Structures are given as structure tokens and as C-alpha cells.
Amino acid sequence: MTIRPYTAADKHACLNAFRSNMPRFFAPEELNDFDAWLDTQAQRDLADKDKSECYFVIETNGQVIGCGGYYVRPDKTTAVMTWGMLHQQYHKQGWGKQLFQYRVSIIKEVCPACTIQLDTTQHSAPFFAKMGFAVTKVTPDFYGPGLDRYDMELKN
């Protein structure tokens, strides 16, 4: 298992992971947003980054099976986890937990005082609750019909 920075060559695998999670975890309408967002990540210069925004892929046997990242808000008080997912066939095998823990460890290195937040659906909220997150707000149908937004924050 390897977790490494995202590159443009990973885009196809990340889009496949996204598609494998539609419509339960992601609304089909979000696919174009994710696609465009991946392009912005590919343009980031990894050598010059201050690690205030990072995106990673997790791979096993040379195959990308998931992705996820974070960004630190400009005021340096909050870090937000972004677009975390595993290809559907790799759910419930521990890969997501490893990718999650890796992202948290990097955030704590880069911004030890940051509060860590994320938003997700009601389907992924139980996973993040097991990882120590608490729900701070629920917005019904935010992502699409039947996909509620759960804002969550890592408890200290």
C-alpha cells in the first residue's frame, strides 16, 4: 500500500472511484465539479507547496484505489478534508481508514492548532463518527435529492 501526492496521470482512476460511488455517496451532478477540481490539483507545483493544500491517492499493487486531500484555511485555524473516497470495491477493508489517518497526520504536522472539519453525506457520516468526528450541522438534500450534507468536526 502506498499513499502519495496526486498527479494528472491519476485522474482517470480518481474519476472511476467517484463514479463507482454514485449515486449513493455522490450525486451525479457533482462529477463535473470533481473533474474540474482534479485539473486544478494537477496544476499545483508539488516542489514549491507549503502543504496548505494537498491531494493524495492510495494505491495497492500499483493500482490507484482511492483519493483524498485537505486544505488549510488562510487564517490557519481550520483544515478541511476534501473529496475523500475509495473505489466501491475497496470499501470496508481498512483502506479508507489508512487514507484518513494519513491525511489527519499531515494536517497535524502542517497546522497543529487547526480544527479539522469536513462535509459528507449521511452515508459516510458513520465512518467519520468512528474516526472521532462529531456532527455540527445537517442540511437536507444539499448535494442532491436524498443526499444530505453532514458538517462534521474532529473532536479534540
Average pLDDT score over the chain: 93
Q: Is the pLDDT of residue 19 over 90?
A: yes
Grid cell at residue 70: 485537505
Question: What pLDDT shows up at residue 42?
Answer: 79
Q: Is the pLDDT of residue 46 over 80?
A: no
Taking alpha carbons only, the member of 81, 140, 75, 122 closest to residue 105 is 81
Domains and CATH numbers, the chain: 2-154 (3.40.630.30)
Residue 57, C-beta contacts closer than 8 angstroms, at least 6 positions apart: 3, 4, 5, 6, 10, 13, 14, 64, 66, 67
Grid cell at residue 99: 487514507
Instruction: Flag whether the pTM goes above 0.85.
Output: yes
Average pLDDT over residues 139-154: 94
Question: What pLDDT shows up at residue 88?
Answer: 96
Question: What pLDDT shows up at residue 156?
Answer: 66
